[in-house]
Amino acid sequence: MRVFYRKRVKLKKNNRDQHNDAQHLKPLYSDLEQNLEMLHMLYDDCSDVVFRSFLIAGKTKAQLIYIKGMANIEEMDSNVLTPLMNNAEYSAINAKSLIEQKLSVAEVTKLESFNACIEQLSIGNPILLLENEQQGYALGLAKWEKRSIEEPTGELVVRGPREGFTETVEVNTSLLRRKIRSPQLKMKSLKLGRYTQTTIILAYIEDLANETLLEEMTQRLSRIDIDGILESGYIEELIQDHSYSPFPQVLITERPDTAVSSLLEGRVVLIIDGTPFALIAPTTFFALFQSAEDHYHNFMISTATRWLRYLFCLISLLLPSLYVAIITYHQEMVPTTLLLTMIDSREVVPFPALIEALLMEITFEGLREAGLRLPKQVGAAVSIVGALVIGQAAVDAGLVSDHMVMVVAITGIASFTVPRYNLAIPIRMLRFPIMLLAGTFGLVGIMTGLLAIMTHLSTLRSFGVPYLTPIAPMKGKDMKDTLIRAPLWKLNTRPHFTGDYNEYRQAADQKPDFDKGGEE
Amino acid sequence: MKRSIAICFICMAIMLLTGCWDRRETNDLAIITGVALDKTEEGLIELTVEIHSPGGSGNRSEMGGDSGGGKNKTILQTGKGVSLADAMEDLDEKLSRQMLWSHAEAIVISKAFAETGIRDELDFFVRHPEPRLRSYIFISDGKAKEIIALRPSLERSSSEVLIKLAESEVLMKVTLFDLMEMLKGESGTSVLPMVAKSPREQGKAVLETVSYINRSAVLKQGKMIGSINDQLTRGVLWFRNEIKESIVTVKPEEADGYISMDILKGRTVLIPEMDGHRLKMTVKIEMIDDVIQNQTDWNLKELEKLQMLEAALAQKIEQRLTDTLEIVQKELKADIVGFADEFRRKYPEKWKKEKADWEERFATVEVTFDIEAEVLRTGRGSAPQ
């Protein structure tokens, strides 16, 4: 095993060296022909790259290079080609004055190497190369098709902003900047992925985010060396603390308001180009139970909803197991009248309760998965069949009992009350081993399973923060936004993750009161 | 890596090795809802169990329309043996399913059985892990089997009738646990509710009637020695501070009719006193009642009338308690009113001497009453006089 590992390391090194030695790191030549030759060679067989040569004022040779579909052609015509070609007044052309006087383009970047050229081209910016100039110019005329800002479908709220992140990193950063106007909102940019060169923005608020957290995040990101990053999941899997855990150790959100509230708590947000999902670290188990809405509604209602979620999370994890355990091992626990009805309904079922439960739960999960992937046109078919399979038809067929149908239905609904899909999934998954334990050991088995899960959860850490904070380790102060959602005027301190932190987030004693009326 | 795989396999094997040894599918269970204990003429114990007969989901549609007897889905099965456990084994042979005792919440013991002593056989119910200590115990006037064989039209089974009767707390309510405590108590006496069949209406099948509690059985050292009627039972409940429901109808002097009152709250305190060889007991009762019917032309808003009513009420209760005491103390000589425990509590040292011949000493206890009756709600509206 160790030998294999060493080999792999070597391989990695070789790859990287090759990669770095590529020719495109070289600086630009002063000769236009030589530059063009180089670019042609790099973009050999790239039919989407357009080379347009022209003469400035009929004299100086120039070349405009852009990628089809990514540059704004009208703007190029009117603001670049027209003023440059038509003007015959220029005799001795100095590149600097030309750019300053004639080009009506807001963003112009100087390019000194082929590498920079490639980068600008792939963003969509056209580049302008001139004769006898050792530098080129990238014109900020990129324009490509992008999705407009829509309501995030994964995290719906009744009350709250309706905007969601999109696939474009610039749009996403602008959404953050619009909410946090302070220049202390920092956005470090880096590129990951050998071929995709995906932009990743590391956003944090200076003085709020812990220094060591930032360092750790930067270090973990810098370790990543893969060919491509297509979604935030790639990053998540490569930076999380514990790989062998079904529980999410990084929070995922589509909502700018959730991202901003995390930033204000001193967390770090990663925005990844090409996906509407931003990553938030560190996160805790209980943070995954919070919905953006919790802070928009009345605190009493939010507290009640939060408890409802905790309850239904437990139901989603345990209800089928409890049913199986009690009906096969602990019949004395059921009230007599209920037991008699249960027995009546189970009388014709040929399977043990465990098999019955597994059958139904697996069917339900199958239906759920099918429902996700289904083309819209056949969606109705599945819901009809689903209603039959998990319903009266199954009971009439003598496969399952009435109560099992109830249990499966409630469990199914319960798992969707967890506001984060990536937390709901492991809970749904862990239901099955616990069901097996319940079917073999009864309630003792369920307790064993729960203990194992608790042990696992308490060993987890997210960027050094214990996963079960603030319950274990107990932090009384942070409890105010965990088990309950305290009123806003009570939420004076930020949650404490690790090390020093900027403790107070608002002025104390802001409870509205008659004595504090506006008239003084 | 190899090790973790090995551990995985071992864990899986552990799960399989147990073989789910405690597993009982509901389809293999006979749920016992009620138990009846009788003695046969040969002296054997006859154990009759009422078993819920599962209808299966196919029967559900019939259940709605069919009324009366169709609703009762219970069957009876009887086993005989020299002891309860022996009878149970006999019963087991006759049943295709495993018995589940956890839901047997009504235990009916026949009078004949109770007279020979119940202590030894109750041991089974206490020792076995399944039967509940909270199940209710009854003594039947006739055969116990006949009580649980009834097919009531209101409830699902006769044991359910019995449970509801006990829970209504009109007369005695004794659970297995209470009975154990009574048997262990200082006086060694116990009192249990007695059930009887109500006479069947004309045109109804033999079994289509209900049982009801009308008396209380008195047991000494686990053996039944007699019974008391419902009025006396209420008196005993007063002594035991267990009174929950009692309607008292009095006719105050000078009044032209009866006034009925329902008890809202009643509290009894027994204050024992040992004066040399004499035993004294003060029964202190505080009660609050409200008027539920007034036949007289009395306006109860008048303080004078109200006080007269209260006095009459106190007198009536005292009369009832004196009657009770007469029977309990002199006739049955069974301390079912809980005096023994009070004496022990107050005079733990002296009690040791008294305990030996308590049966005789109990009859000599001088009882004085201190009854405070209050009529709280006289009611405003009244039928025109």
pLDDT-derived band at B18, boundaries 50, 70, 90: low
Q: Give residue-wise pLDDT tens across range A220-231.
A: 999 999 999 999
pLDDT-derived band at B61, boundaries 50, 70, 90: very low
Residue B39 located in a structural domain: yes
CA dist., res. A429 & res. A407, Å (int) = 16
In a shared domain, residues B46 and B184: yes
Tell whether B27 is within 8 A of chain A (Cβ): yes
**Residue finishing a domain among B184, B210, B228:** B228
Task: Give the pLDDT of residue B70.
Answer: 44
Percent of chain A with pLDDT over 90: 46
Nearest CB to A352; choose among B25, B130, B156: B25
In a shared domain, residues B309 and B224: no
Instruction: Report H helices in A284-334.
Output: 299-328
Mean pLDDT calculated for residue range B193-210:
80
Tell whether B22 is within 8 A of chain A (Cβ): yes
CA dist., res. A330 & res. B51, Å (int) = 18
Which of A20-34, A86-100, A430-444, B75-89 has the lowest average pLDDT? A86-100
Neighbouring CB atoms inside 10 A of B327's CB total 17
Q: Which residue of B has its CA nearest to A356?
A: B25
Q: Verify whether the Cβ–Cβ distance A402 to B58 is below 8 Å.
A: no
> Which long-range CB contacts under 8 A does B345-352 form with residues at least 24 apart?
B345/B272, B346/B272, B346/B274, B347/B272, B347/B274, B350/B274, B351/B186
Q: Verify whether the Cβ–Cβ distance A344 to B130 is below 8 Å.
A: no
Nearest to A15 by CA among A294, A225, A223: A225
Neighbouring CB atoms inside 10 A of B64's CB total 8
pLDDT greater than 70 at residue A12: no
Residue B2 located in a structural domain: no
Nearest to B238 by CA among B282, B280, B268, B260: B268
In a shared domain, residues B144 and B266: no
CA dist., res. B296 & res. B259, Å (int) = 7
Nearest CB to B52; choose among A327, A340, A348: A340
3-state secondary structure of B177: helix
pLDDT-derived band at B382, boundaries 50, 70, 90: low
Task: Give the pLDDT of residue A517.
Answer: 62
Give, in order, the Cα–Cα distances in Å from B34 to each of A201, B76, B102, B143. 72, 9, 10, 14
Task: Give the pLDDT of residue A20.
Answer: 46
pLDDT greater than 90 at residue A180: yes
Enumerate the residues of chain A whose CB falls inside 8 A of the CB of residue B20: 328, 439-440
pLDDT greater than 90 at residue A179: yes
Q: Strand A251-253 relative to strand A278-281: parallel, antiparallel, unpaired?
A: antiparallel
**Contact assessment for residue B106 and residue B211, using Cβ atoms and an 8 Å cutoff:** no
Enumerate the residues of chain A whose CB falls inside 8 A of the CB of residue B22: 329, 442
pLDDT-derived band at B194, boundaries 50, 70, 90: very high
In a shared domain, residues B220 and B253: no
Q: Angle at CA A99, nearest 5°, toward A94 and A105?
A: 170
In a shared domain, residues B210 and B313: no
The most confident of the ranges A18-22, A53-57, A153-157, B104-108 is B104-108
In a shared domain, residues B351 and B326: yes
CA distance B249 to chain A (A): 38
pLDDT-derived band at A189, boundaries 50, 70, 90: very high
Tell whether B15 is within 8 A of chain A (Cβ): yes
Nearest to A222 by CA among A3, A467, A16, A7: A16
Expressed as residue numbers, the domain containing B47 is 22-228
Task: Give the pLDDT of residue B184.
Answer: 87
Q: Verify whether the Cβ–Cβ distance B23 to A329 is below 8 Å.
A: yes
CA dist., res. A146 & res. B286, Å (int) = 85
**Contact assessment for residue B252 and residue B266, using Cβ atoms and an 8 Å cutoff:** no
Task: Give the pLDDT of residue A94.
Answer: 66
Q: Give residue-wise pLDDT tens across range A307-329.
A: 999 999 999 999 999 999 999 99
Q: Verify whether the Cβ–Cβ distance A347 to B25 is below 8 Å.
A: no
Which of A76-90, A170-184, B273-287 has the lowest average pLDDT? A76-90
Mean pLDDT calculated for residue range B213-230:
91
Mean pLDDT calculated for residue range B305-325:
91
Burial label, A229 (beta-carbon count in 10 A; 0-12, 13-18, 19+):
buried
**Per-residue buried b or exposed e for B146-158, using 16+ beta carbons within 10 Å of the residue's own CB:** bbbbbbbeebbbb
Residue B12 located in a structural domain: no
Q: Verify whether the Cβ–Cβ distance A332 to B25 is below 8 Å.
A: no
Higher pLDDT, A340 or A85: A340
In a shared domain, residues B335 and B325: yes
Q: Give residue-wise pLDDT tens across range A495-506.
A: 888 777 888 888
pLDDT greater than 70 at residue A122: yes
CA distance A259 to chain B (A): 39
Residue A20's φ and ψ, nearest 5 degrees, are: -70, -25
**Contact assessment for residue B74 and residue B53, using Cβ atoms and an 8 Å cutoff:** yes
Task: Give the pLDDT of residue A519.
Answer: 53
Enumerate the residues of chain A whose CB falls inside 8 A of the CB of residue B27: 346-347, 349
**Residue finishing a domain among B177, B201, B228:** B228
DSSP conformation letters of A58-92: TTEEEEEEEETTTB-HHHHIIIIIHHHHH-----S
Q: Verify whether the Cβ–Cβ distance B26 to A402 is below 8 Å.
A: no
pLDDT greater than 70 at residue B53: yes
CB pairs below 8 Å between A and B: how many?
Answer: 75
Q: Verify whether the Cβ–Cβ distance A442 to B26 is below 8 Å.
A: no
In a shared domain, residues B224 and B235: no
Nearest CB to A343; choose among B15, B52, B105: B52
Mean pLDDT calculated for residue range A357-370:
90
Q: Which residue of A has its CA nearest to B157?
A: A337
CA distance B27 to chain A (A): 6
Task: Give the pLDDT of residue B208.
Answer: 75
In a shared domain, residues B338 and B373: yes
pLDDT-derived band at A19, boundaries 50, 70, 90: very low
Test the B interface: residue of A5, A324, A330, A336 with most B CBs within 10 Å:
A336
Tell whether B11 is within 8 A of chain A (Cβ): no
Residue B297 located in a structural domain: yes
Test the B interface: residue of A327, A343, A401, A403 with most B CBs within 10 Å:
A343
Nearest CB to B29; choose among A331, A348, A353: A331
**Contact assessment for residue A422 and residue A252, using Cβ atoms and an 8 Å cutoff:** yes
**Contact assessment for residue B82 and residue B44, using Cβ atoms and an 8 Å cutoff:** yes
**Per-residue buried b or exposed e for B31-63, using 16+ beta carbons within 10 Å of the residue's own CB:** bbbbbbbbbeeeebbbbbbbbbbbbbbebeeee
Task: Give the pLDDT of residue B67.
Answer: 38
3-state secondary structure of B223: strand
Nearest CB to B26; choose among A327, A395, A442: A327
Q: Which residue of A has its CA nearest to B130?
A: A332
Q: Which residue of A has its CA nearest to B104?
A: A336
What is the tally of structural domains in chain B? Answer: 2
Enumerate the residues of chain A whose CB falls inside 8 A of the CB of residue B58: 348
CA distance A451 to chain B (A): 16
Residue B277 located in a structural domain: yes
Tell whether B18 is within 8 A of chain A (Cβ): yes
Nearest CB to A336; choose among B27, B103, B130: B103
Q: Verify whether the Cβ–Cβ distance B23 to A1 is below 8 Å.
A: no
Which of A285-289, A331-335, B65-69 has the lowest average pLDDT? B65-69
Residue B385 located in a structural domain: yes
Structure tokens at B319: 């009369």
In a shared domain, residues B373 and B341: yes
Tell whether B71 is within 8 A of chain A (Cβ): no
Task: Give the pLDDT of residue B376.
Answer: 87
Q: Verify whether the Cβ–Cβ distance B57 to A344 is below 8 Å.
A: yes
pLDDT greater than 70 at residue A5: no
Structure tokens at A295: 């802070």
Calculate the CA A163 to chain-centre distance: 15
Task: Give the pLDDT of residue B27.
Answer: 86
pLDDT-derived band at A260, boundaries 50, 70, 90: very high
**Contact assessment for residue A214 and residue A390, using Cβ atoms and an 8 Å cutoff:** no
CA dist., res. B15 & res. B3, Å (int) = 19
pTM of structure: 0.84
Burial label, B211 (beta-carbon count in 10 A; 0-12, 13-18, 19+):
buried
In a shared domain, residues B101 and B247: no
Tell whether B31 is within 8 A of chain A (Cβ): yes
Q: Strand B136-140 relative to strand B106-110: parallel, antiparallel, unpaired?
A: parallel
pLDDT greater than 70 at residue B62: no
CA distance A344 to chain B (A): 5
Tell whether B349 is within 8 A of chain A (Cβ): no
Mean pLDDT calculated for residue range B308-335:
91
Q: Verify whether the Cβ–Cβ distance A348 to B56 is below 8 Å.
A: yes
pLDDT-derived band at B383, boundaries 50, 70, 90: low
Mean pLDDT calculated for residue range A436-442:
89
Q: Verify whether the Cβ–Cβ distance B57 to A442 is below 8 Å.
A: no
SS (H, E, C) A136-202: EEEECCECCCCCCCCCCCCCCCCCCCCCCCCCCHHHHHHHHHHHCCCCCEEEEEEEECCCCCEEEEE
CA distance B258 to chain A (A): 43
SS (H, E, C) A379-440: HHHHHHHHHHHCCHHHHHCCCCCHHHHHHHHHHHHHHCCCCCHHHHHHHHHHHHHHHHHHHH
Chain A residues within 8 Å of chain B (Cβ atoms): 1, 327-329, 331-332, 336, 339-340, 342-349, 352-353, 395-396, 398, 401-402, 436-437, 439-442
Q: Verify whether the Cβ–Cβ distance B103 to A339 is below 8 Å.
A: yes
Q: Which residue of A has its CA nearest to B74?
A: A340
Q: Verify whether the Cβ–Cβ distance B18 to A440 is below 8 Å.
A: yes
**What CATH code is carried by the domain that includes residue B308?**
3.30.300.210
Q: Give residue-wise pLDDT tens across range A193-223.
A: 999 999 999 999 999 999 999 999 999 999 9
CA distance B129 to chain A (A): 11
pLDDT-derived band at A451, boundaries 50, 70, 90: very high
Nearest CB to B54; choose among A343, A352, A442: A343
pLDDT greater than 80 at residue B319: yes
pLDDT-derived band at A273, boundaries 50, 70, 90: very high
Test the B interface: residue of A329, A332, A349 with most B CBs within 10 Å:
A332
Mean pLDDT calculated for residue range A388-412:
87
**Contact assessment for residue B272 and residue B362, using Cβ atoms and an 8 Å cutoff:** no
Tell whether B74 is within 8 A of chain A (Cβ): no
In a shared domain, residues B221 and B248: no
pLDDT greater than 80 at residue A458: yes
Task: Give the pLDDT of residue A314.
Answer: 95
Residue B15 located in a structural domain: no
Residue B334 located in a structural domain: yes
pLDDT greater than 90 at residue A411: yes
pLDDT-derived band at B256, boundaries 50, 70, 90: confident
**Residue finishing a domain among B228, B257, B288:** B228
pLDDT-derived band at A102, boundaries 50, 70, 90: confident
Task: Give the pLDDT of residue A89.
Answer: 62
Nearest CB to A440; choose among B20, B56, B105: B20
Enumerate the residues of chain B whose CB falls inside 8 A of the CB of residue A398: 57
